């Protein structure tokens, strides 16, 4: 429909662990298969983890951030410089045994500054608003800005309120 943006599925991979390809090869495969005219933007998931899916601080040299830049270069080389990338998921797990809430806030801030420093990043969606459950050993239950009972995770909550649009 007019005014709609067609996204690819959110691309996320890990060189090892439970994924079998990386983001670049997937996006390259879209172009190689002739899909260029069937999407308006790339959907992308970025979690700052290493190849084994272990948390690490986000940085300009972080493995999956470099994959994002490599894919952007591919898009430009294929004539798609006008197309944007939407970050359809990103986040920092908190609490995590190795990361305090203050460290998580600082990591999230670095992640968002890196992403939003690129004019070709159109939207960024933080995963997620609320922990999915109470078992904190389950990886999906530690990303929320609030816990399962809607208790705000300070100082993360305060930082998110400062962002464009706030909470």
The pLDDT value given to residue 95: 63
What pLDDT score does 164 carry?
Answer: 73
Q: pLDDT tens track of the chain, all 167 residues?
A: 678 999 998 887 655 555 556 788 889 999 999 999 999 999 998 887 776 667 788 889 888 888 899 999 999 999 999 999 999 998 887 766 678 889 889 999 999 999 999 999 999 998 888 999 999 888 778 888 999 999 999 999 999 999 876 65
Q: Provide the pLDDT for residue 68.
A: 92
Give me 165's structure tokens. 């649009």
Question: What is the full DSSP assignment across 59-93?
Answer: -TT-HHHHHHHHHHHHHHHTT-TT-EEEEEEEE--
Task: Please report the pLDDT score of residue 18 as a whole number.
Answer: 52
Cα 96 to Cα 98: distance, rounded to the nearest angstrom: 5
Residue 110 CA to residue 92 CA, distance in Å, equals 11
Looking at residue 47, its pLDDT comes to 81
- Supply the pTM of this predicted model: 0.87
Q: Where are the beta strands (DSSP E) in 16-144?
A: 41-47, 84-91, 121-126
Which pLDDT value is given to residue 138? 83
Q: Tell me how far CA of residue 28 lies from CA of 31, 33, 41, 136, in angstroms.
A: 5, 9, 14, 37
What token pair was written down for 149?
Answer: 């009972």
Q: Is the peptide bond before 95 cis (omega within 30 degrees of 0)?
A: yes
pLDDT value at position 13? 60
């Amino acid at each position: 429909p007019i005014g709609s943006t067609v996204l690819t599925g959110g691309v996320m991979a890990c060189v090892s662990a439970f994924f079998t390809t990386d983001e670049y090869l997937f996006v390259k495969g879209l172009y190689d298969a002739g899909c260029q005219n069937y999407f308006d933007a790339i959907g992308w998931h970025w979690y700052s983890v290493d190849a084994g899916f272990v948390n690490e601080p986000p940085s300009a040299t972080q493995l999956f951030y470099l994959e994002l830049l490599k894919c952007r270069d591919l898009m430009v080389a294929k004539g798609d410089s006008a197309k944007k990338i939407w970050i359809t998921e990103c986040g920092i797990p908190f609490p995590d045994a190795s990361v305090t809430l203050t460290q998580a806030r600082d990591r999230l801030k670095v992640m968002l500054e890196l992403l939003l420093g690129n004019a070709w990043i159109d939207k960024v969606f933080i995963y997620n608003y609320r922990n999915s459950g109470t078992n904190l050993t389950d990886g999906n239950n530690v990303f929320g800005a609030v816990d399962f009972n809607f208790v705000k995770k300070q100082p993360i909550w305060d930082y998110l309120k400062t962002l464009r649009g706030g909470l």
